[in-house]
Amino acid sequence: MVGHSPHRSTLVKSGLAATVLALSAALMTAAPAQAATGSITGLDGKCLDVAGADSANGTPVQIYDCNGTNAQQWTVGSDGTIRALGKCLDIVDRSTADGAKVQLWDCTGGANQKWVVTAAHDIVNPAADKCLDVTDRNSANGTRVQIWTCTGGSNQKWNAPATGGGSTPAPSGFVVSEAQFNQMFPNRNPFYTYQGLVQALSAFPGFANTGDDTTKKQEAAAFLANVNHETGGLQYVVELNTANYPTYCDWGQSYGCPAGQAAYYGRGPIQLSWNYNYKAAGDAIGVDLLNNPWLVENDPAIAWKTGLWFWNTQSGAGTMTPHNAMVNHVGFGETIRSINGSLECNGRNQAQVQSRVDAYQRFTSILGVSPGGNLYC
């Protein structure tokens, strides 16, 4: 039955915890096997630029009118580095905080110098799980570049030289192909599009993109298996029990329920509910869901982002996020605990747990990987 689950009413209201992601082994090689060199363009067509064409350690990185100089020639390597003037694109003081500035520095192999250029045109530092960002969306020459939580905004979109010897990248870059997605959800509601899911990935670039290929596929299968259970195989977009709708407004919140007493019912792949969860999820993905919760049932990408928001940032009834449970090999059972452990785990509802495990084993089989251990909670 799709409806209220404890993880949606027990959100820690003190804010979102930062998720620190492990770097993939592919980013830890000593030198690029393949590289591509050229300009990196971003907001309003401006180029990523080394201030004053100065190669000294600590030189600020900014945006500037494209001029074809060496200060704007960047080499994107398959080792995860992005280099100009013989130095690496580097996050100041190895910070993982929003607003940490980016500079030029001697290449050290540190996590603060590793980047992933995604198919969605984000440039992501996996250690911080943050995107390369133009400060304050200001396209003026000389505006500093920083890292910031990925929002999908135009100030975080970049066109960078592609590595790979000129080969064409996969259309999505996601470890689950559209054919496999269709095999997993043969009877899904047309609202839940594969394209919407792929579009949503840019908001949480560490998802199914951390660790080796097996770990990436196991995480994707784990997320989709839990989503399968929450939505009856992606058949339900909104909560079925309309009698519950007026119960999801916590008037104790200072912002109240501006969309109405009955506006915060379960929607989307995790059946997001409660006004404070809509606010927190909206704040995280850069969309005002508190005032317009209907976006979750009208925009497939936003719906998928709310599911990924919980998966990557919330511990629910457990002790860690589902993302961390999978990338740290704690096991699928721990994701069940986070999502609905207070009702299902420790023998409370074995049938529901088994339903999730069955889906996970089926999905890992489709992806051609082992499900790993610790499947139950």
113 near 107, Cβ under 8 Å? yes
Taking only Cα atoms into account, the Rg of the chain, rounded to an integer number of angstroms, comes to 21
Per annotation, catalytic residue among 219, 230, 239, 344: 230
Q: Report the distance separating Cα 100 and Cα 344, nearest Å.
A: 41
Q: Report the distance separating Cα 129 and Cα 22, nearest Å.
A: 9
The position carrying tokens 């940032």 is: 313
234 near 192, Cβ under 8 Å? yes
Cα 144 from chain centroid?
A: 24
Q: What's phi and psi for 177, nearest 5 deg?
A: -75, 165
Cα 47 from chain centroid?
A: 25
Active site residue 230: yes
Maximum CA extent, the chain: 65
- Here the tokens at position 305 are 């982002």
Q: Report the distance separating Cα 116 and Cα 206, nearest Å.
A: 10
Which of 223, 252, 242 minimizes the C-alpha distance to 335? 223
307 near 281, Cβ under 8 Å? no
Report the first-to-last Cα separation within the chain, whole angstroms: 20
Which of 212, 89, 208 minimizes the C-alpha distance to 160? 89
- Residues tagged active-site: 230
